[in-house]
């Protein structure tokens, strides 16, 4: 019998990480050993077949223990946005520990175009993490995920009720991708036998502007919806007025700014390559979530 390949998914109690573990388990591949790493192993109920390991990127002891015997690692970018630099430091600690543990390949969930001049407020963490991977001795797959369509569902439901979709994206376009498709791509990359280094954009199959997004929302909801472009300041105030914390509102609007500047107009066939199926379209996603519009 051939040796098992041990795959570790970090952040396994989060939405993306847990889904990756579920997809890997669904393969029922006896050559793969699936390890679910998280700060909260008690939340990993229902993942029968996966080994749970305590994993905290800010705890060197758990890094060493969790990474022992691991062949391929998925670093799901953390949600540590409470202070500048914390998330990048967490990721860098994990990368150094992966080197020390002799892990053969690291998959990392990044973001589209995390350049130095990106207006996206979380781009810096991704850029620094990518730089840490490049500076390391590790082989890696960087998955630059487009903006989750899931994050827009609430605003699209609101637009169908009010008749107007407000956004600060100007005439720009972006290729939305679902969390499910990102999970499928990550599972595919982690379970593959790829060796070397690569950076891949994980997107939907087509870029669309906010006017088209409003039209699709109208079609699915059966209610008229039009797009109204607003400034970043107006959009931020509107999100806060609807109960979103100021910090989160600023982050979301920064993605709109990137769209307005043409930085998110990227498409690829990476989901097809890694998941073996095409990505879900905006209309398909909204139809699958039609209950939210009632």
Q: What span, in angstroms and rounded, lies between the C-alpha atoms of 81 and 41?
A: 22
Rg from Cα positions in the chain:
19
Q: Where in the chain is the domain with CATH 3.90.25.10?
A: 146-178+204-265+280-294
pLDDT at position 1, please?
34
Query: What is the reported pLDDT for 242?
Result: 86
In the structure, how many helices (H) and strands (E) does the chain have?
11, 11
pLDDT tens, residue by residue, 242-282: 898 998 899 999 999 999 999 999 999 999 999 999 999 99
* Residue 5 pLDDT: 97
Joined together, the tokens standing for residue 174 give: 């972006």
The boundaries of every CATH 3.40.50.720 domain in the chain are 5-145
Nearest C-alpha neighbor of 200 from the set 140, 261, 250: 140
The strand ranges marked E within 71-230 are 72-75, 105-111, 139-145, 164-167, 173-174, 197-202, 208-209, 226-229
* Nearest residue to 151 (alpha-carbon basis) of 233, 249, 21: 249
Query: Cα–Cα distance between 95 and 74 in angstroms, integer?
Result: 11
Q: What would the CATH number be for the domain defined by 146-178+204-265+280-294?
A: 3.90.25.10
Q: Which CATH code, of 3.20.20.70, 3.40.47.10, 3.30.70.2500, 3.40.50.720, is assigned to 5-145?
A: 3.40.50.720
Low-confidence residues of the chain, pLDDT below 70? 1-2
For residues 191 and 268, the answer to whether their CB atoms sit within 8 Å is: no
pLDDT at 2: 56
DSSP 194: -
């Amino acid at each position: 019998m051939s040796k098992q390949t041990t795959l570790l998914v970090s952040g396994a109690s989060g939405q993306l990480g847990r889904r990756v573990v579920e997809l890997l388990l669904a393969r029922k591949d006896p050559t793969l050993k699936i390890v679910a790493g998280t700060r909260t192993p008690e939340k990993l109920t229902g993942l029968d077949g996966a080994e749970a390991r305590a994993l905290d990127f800010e705890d060197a002891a758990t890094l060493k223990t969790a990474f022992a015997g691991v062949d391929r690692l998925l670093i799901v970018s953390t949600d540590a946005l409470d202070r500048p630099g914390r998330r990048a430091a967490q990721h860098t600690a994990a990368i150094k520990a992966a080197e020390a543990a002799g892990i053969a390949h690291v998959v990392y969930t990044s973001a589209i175009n995390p350049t130095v001049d990106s207006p996206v407020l979380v781009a810096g963490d991704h850029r620094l993490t990518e730089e840490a991977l490049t500076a390391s001795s590790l082989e890696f797959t960087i998955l630059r995920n487009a903006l989750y369509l899931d994050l827009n569902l609430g605003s699209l439901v609101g637009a169908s009720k009010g008749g107007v979709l407000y956004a600060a994206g100007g005439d720009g376009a972006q290729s939305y991708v679902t969390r499910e498709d990102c999970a499928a791509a990550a599972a595919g990359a982690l379970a593959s036998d790829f060796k070397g280094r690569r950076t891949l954009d994980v997107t939907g199959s087509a870029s669309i502007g906010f006017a088209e997004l409003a039209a699709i929302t109208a079609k699915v909801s059966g209610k008229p919806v039009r797009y109204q472009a607003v400034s970043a300041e107006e959009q931020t105030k509107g999100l806060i007025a609807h109960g979103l914390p100021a910090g989160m509102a600023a982050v979301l609007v920064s993605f709109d700014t990137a769209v307005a500047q043409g930085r998110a107009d990227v498409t690829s066939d990476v989901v097809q390559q890694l998941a073996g199926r095409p990505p879900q379209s905006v209309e398909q996603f909204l139809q699958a979530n039609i209950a939210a519009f009632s």
